[in-house]
Amino acid sequence: MTRLGGTILALIVLAVIGFASMLSFGPSAPRRVAREEVTDIGPVQPPPSSRVLMIPVAGVPAGQLVDTWGQSRAGGARSHEAIDIMAPGNTPVVAAGRGTIEKLFHSEAGGITLYVRSPDRRWSHYYAHLAGYAPGIHEGQKVERGTLLGFVGDTGNAGAGNTHLHFGVSRMTPDARWHEGVPINPYPLLAGKRKVR
């Protein structure tokens, strides 16, 4: 075969391959784009940041949250160090962030409670006044954002019929125990106004 014939044959093969790829994928088939590559318009539903907490009560939008941090409790004897998320009894309560269930605890004040420790052990999420735990929930269990933990209730000192989730966030040192830590206001974290640092 002459050099010219070989070149023509190579061009024909390339043309056939190009035509076949157009038939397979179409001339305007989008290439798969990693979410990190989307910069101008962003994905339609951006993935939730691992540093912004998910609202831990199913179906409650951010606009419905009320900042109850610092409100007076027990006739002024103490200050509220959490946010109360109002919802009907037995509404699903889900993990606000990734972590490990560190403690299942029943207390006079919190009723049926649950503590989730973040993977870096710097944060604790506190869920109180639950009606009960989700089936199979146990201490030491790893959870992801959105894992079903339990159900909204009125146990402890919530008051009969006053169904809500008392949700607290505490900054922890890695060696602190489940009930230790410094409470911070969860409202800005849940409302998307601030990120966990």
Other Cβ atoms closer than 10 A to 20:
10
Instruction: Give buried/exposed letters for 50-86 (b at 16+ CB in 10 A, else e).
Output: eebbbbbbeebeeeebeebbeeeeeeeeeebbbbbbb
Place of tokens 């079903």: 148
Residue 43, pLDDT > 60, answer no
DSSP 37-73: G--SS--SSPPPPTTSPPPSBTT--GGG----TT-EE
CATH class of the domain whose range is 62-190: mainly beta
Contact indicator for 89, 57 with CB cutoff of 8 Å: no
Question: Among 167, 163, 159, which residue's Cα sits nearest to residue 184?
Answer: 167
3-state helix, strand, coil in the chain (%, to 5): 20, 30, 50
Provide the mean pLDDT of the chain. 76
Give the pLDDT band (50/70/90) at residue 73.
low
C-alpha to C-alpha distance for 156 and 173, rounded to whole angstroms: 28
What's residue 22's pLDDT?
38
What's residue 162's pLDDT?
87
Give the pLDDT band (50/70/90) at residue 16.
very low
Place of tokens 């919530």: 158
Residue 11, pLDDT > 70, answer no
pLDDT in tens, 140-174: 999 999 999 999 999 998 888 889 999 999 999 98
Tell me how long the chain is.
197
Residue 9, pLDDT > 50, answer no
Give the pLDDT band (50/70/90) at residue 31.
very low
DSSP 73-133: EGGGTEE--SEEEE--TT-EEE-SSSEEEEEEEEETTTEEEEEEE-TTSSEEEEEEEEEEE
What's residue 188's pLDDT?
86
Task: Decide which of 17 and 164 is more confident.
Answer: 164
